[in-house]
Amino acid sequence: MGNVIAKNPIMPGFYPDPSICAVNGDYYLCNSTFAYFPGLSLMHSKDLAHWEQIGNVLNRHSQLPLEGADHSQGLFAPTIRYYKGVFYVICTNVTHGGNFIVTATDPEGPWSEPHYLVDADGIDPSLFFDDDGKCYYIGTHPNPDGVKYNGDWYIYICEVDLENWKLKGEKKNVWNGALKGCIWPEGPHIYKENGYYYIMHAEGGTGPEHSVMICRSRDIWGPYENNPKNPILTHRHLGKDYPIKYVGHGDIIKTPADEWLFLQ
């Protein structure tokens, strides 16, 4: 990739909840768009510093029903992934239909109609393709034992049947946040490195207490161990007057040079 100087923010303006995937020397960035149409802006870069919009994942009304959606409804926290020639974007339409997957062989489109995952409750889904070809869904939903306070949610994992577009087997609750009694563990992603599965997620609510946490396990189903140095990223200790704040949702990638980069 060479020496490139990137200026933060690399995407000034309205680009929340970023998700990124790398395909050879190309990088693709997808963001939440909530109640706006078209939905899920899609950006392309060769160097992670200079970005160009190549389209929107959801640009047909049949893909994106938004009738009655308020300002903070519609599309939440997409995840973009690439596996064996196919791009996958998974997202939640909180106003209509819930969690869904769309696919494309060309990131510029056309993207498929949504495949709704009727058994996938909650929000903020992500996909993970393991070394054996299995695909897993990870998302977040209300505490299955009963919500005891606002934001009492759990992160859960389930295998996905991508031929029939449905969850497969047991849904297992694997993590409910790094801090005891945390609120809104959300936006989880799974990564695999050196025999460990890592769950990186946000918690603390999308406000001043927002933060990025991580845990790991030798088995995708857990148990997951907390990183004693959590949070791995936050600006909450810098106060509300600091120019960067509310840092939480993010995604990480490995470059061809084996560098890990975090996009928030």
**pLDDT tens digits along 23-74:** 988 999 999 999 999 999 999 999 999 999 999 999 999 999 999 999 889 9
> In sequence order, which residues have a C-beta less than 8 Å from that of residue 161 and are 6 or more positions away?
167, 168
Question: Above 60 in pLDDT, residue 1?
Answer: no
Given the residues 26, 113, 145, 186, the one annotated as active site = 186
Q: Are strands 52-58 and 75-83 parallel, antiparallel or unpaired?
A: unpaired
> In sequence order, which residues have a C-beta less than 8 Å from that of residue 192 and are 6 or more positions away?
128, 130, 131, 198
d(CA 212, CA 193): 19
Burial per residue of 47-76, b for 16 or more beta-carbon CB atoms within 10 angstroms, e otherwise? ebeebeeebbbbbeeebbebeebeeeebbb
3-class SS of residue 150: coil
**pLDDT tens digits along 171-217:** 999 999 999 999 999 999 999 999 999 999 999 998 889 999 999 99
Clarify whether 17 is annotated catalytic. Answer: yes
Clarify whether 119 is annotated catalytic. Answer: no
